Amino acid sequence: MGRIMDETGEFRRNWRPLAGAFLGIGSALSLNTYILSTFAPYFIAEFGWTKEQWTWLSVVQMMVIFSIPVSGRLADRFGVWRTAAVGALSYPLFLVAIAFMDGSLMTYFWIYVIQTIVCSTTTSTVYNRVVAQAFVRNRGLAMGLAGSGAPLIGAIGAPLISLYVQNYGFSAGYVLVAAFCMACAVGTLWLLKGVKDEPTKASARADYGAVLSDRAFWIMLAATFLVNVPFSLATTQIKLVSGEQGLPDTAAALMVTAIGLASVAGRFIFGIAIDRLNPPRVAAFGFALPVLGLLLLASPLDSFAVVLFAMVLIGFAFGSEADVVPVLVARHFGIARFGTVVGLLTAAMGAAMAGGSILIALVQRATGSFNGYLFVAAAMTAVGSLLFLMLGGRRFTPVPTAHS
């Protein structure tokens, strides 16, 4: 009973950083996926853009590979409040600029590029730093809760804003979203004002030198890259790979919902698990789940139940990395270099997903099937998940909590 009271007390004591991170992550750059998906048909109809032109704009998202490591370092050096304020207050202004633009594809492109760079300061790489400082016993679960802001706000808001746009037009819809995001930005900064957040006093050269000379970092980097290769399937190819299994379009659409729900569930399940069990083993188990899922998709077993089970396994792992990787970073590197290390690992995630997309395209061109990609991705994921077990060795001593 005493332990339960202590754990719930941790949430009562630290509700402000948790609520601030939830609101901040859910109302800025991480919300872009839901905004773009909702507004895409209206952009194409309003300005006469082609679907191919719209698809190519997604390349802009790859800029986070370069901008998020910078944002993580800024959070370590200047604190979360100052770093996040830049992106949180400017994000709604970018939305207003899009609402009143002239319809030129290049105008939109440059607004989108600058928005992606500046507002990378509003991602979980930045906000999770205050969560990691505030929580010890429930660090994984707290990060899972904070990271659920964008999917929950997006899931609730998307149908409502679609209805609004149908009645008042896309410009009015963008202005409404901008007003909502500005209100959330003000609320986020109020919640985080005065919250414990100790910036590092070390120079970038000293911190990067210490990180890059640490073998644990290279193991994490390699493992994170390898286990993220199959997640390109989870973000862009779900319906296509489901269709290849012989499922009708309605069933394939259900797989999109299934992998999304499994992703949210994975945040909480693995957040709780990593707080209570051996973290490297939890990471290895969680990231090994897609191996079975990928092999099932490549197998002759094409029933609805088998494909659904495979997608759920991939979704669990996709959601789990939101808590598992940051918890491992806090455990091995402490808080002073938290944003610096998470930023670099997030870049590896983005690079892996981009590489996975390229691999899918090459395999599709050569064979007309997903199977070659599924086998390669399964092998890479298996190796990556096993690498996490190395972090449990004696030479990788966790940073003492008192000095995190």
* 3-state SS assignment for residue 115: helix
Q: Which of the pair, 63 or 191, is modelled with greater confidence?
A: 191
DSSP state of 136: S
pLDDT of 81 above 70: yes
Residue 404 is which amino acid?
S
* pLDDT for position 147: 86
pLDDT of 235 above 70: no
Q: Do domains 2-192 and 204-390 have the same CATH topology?
A: yes
Tell me the C-alpha distance between 273 and 279, whole Å.
Answer: 8
- As a whole number, the mean pLDDT across the chain is 85
**At 403, is the pLDDT very low, low, confident or very high (cuts 50, 70, 90)?**
very low
pLDDT of 229 above 90: no
**Mean pLDDT of the region 328-338:** 91
Q: Which of the pair, 305 or 33, is modelled with greater confidence?
A: 305
* DSSP annotation string for 63-99: GHHHHHHHHHHHHHHH-HHHHHHHHHHHHHHHHHHHH
Instruction: Give whole-number Cα distances, 293 to 5, 287, 306, in Å.
Output: 38, 11, 9
Of 29-43, 121-135, 368-382, the range with the highest mean pLDDT is 121-135
* pLDDT for position 160: 82
* pLDDT for position 152: 80
* pLDDT for position 191: 96
**Mean pLDDT of the region 212-222:** 94
Instruction: Give whole-number Cα distances, 239 to 234, 257, 311, in Å.
Output: 10, 10, 11
Per domain, the residue ranges of the chain are: 2-192, 204-390
**At 341, is the pLDDT very low, low, confident or very high (cuts 50, 70, 90)?**
very high
* pLDDT for position 231: 78
pLDDT of 237 above 70: no
Contact between 98 and 47 (Cβ < 8 Å): no
Percent of the chain past pLDDT 90, that is, above it, reads 42
Please name the CATH architecture into which domain 204-390 falls.
Answer: Up-down Bundle (1.20)
Tell me: the pLDDT tens digits for 260-304?
788 888 888 999 999 999 999 999 999 999 999 899 988 888 788
Sign of CA dihedral 267, 146, 67, 401: negative
What's the gap between Cα 272 and its chain centre? Answer: 18
Q: Which range among 283-292, 317-326, 335-344, 350-359 shows the weakest confidence by mean pLDDT?
A: 350-359
What pTM, to 2 d.p., does this model score? 0.84
* pLDDT for position 399: 63
Q: Which range among 153-157, 250-254, 331-335 shows the weakest confidence by mean pLDDT?
A: 250-254
pLDDT of 362 above 90: no
pLDDT of 238 above 80: no
Domain 2-192 falls under CATH 1.20.1250.20:
yes
Instruction: Give whole-number Cα distances, 375 to 189, 210, 234, 260, 356, in Å.
Output: 46, 37, 16, 23, 12
Q: Which of the pair, 1 or 138, is modelled with greater confidence?
A: 138
Q: Which of the pair, 56 or 144, is modelled with greater confidence?
A: 144
pLDDT of 224 above 90: yes
Sign of CA dihedral 180, 184, 185, 187: positive
